[in-house]
Amino acid sequence: MLDSSGSIDRVRFNVIKETVISTVEQLDVSMNRTRVGLIYWSNDAFVAFNMNDYGQVKHSHPVCS
């Protein structure tokens, strides 16, 4: 879950995002091992991707850019 509210500025959000990406890269992400999902929240929450959407880490996902 990532805080995308106004209390987190763009620079800080990018630091947090890079930390999350770095952490996920160290996991054995697959449908049979570790699954990863992502929720952004501010005033409302929304699902960026579900835990069953990806069977491997993909840097081309818009969340990574």
CATH number of domain containing 52: 3.40.50.410
Q: How far is CA 45 from CA 7, 8, 10, 31, 58, in A?
A: 15, 15, 18, 25, 23
pLDDT, residue 11, reads 92
pLDDT tens digits, one per residue of 50-63: 888 877 766 545 55
pLDDT above 70 coverage of the chain, percent: 83
Count of domains for the chain: 1
44: domain range? Answer: 2-64
Structure tokens, 65 = 């850019």
Q: Quote the distance between the C-alpha of residue 21 and its chain's center.
A: 7
pLDDT-derived band at 8 (thresholds 50, 70, 90) equals confident
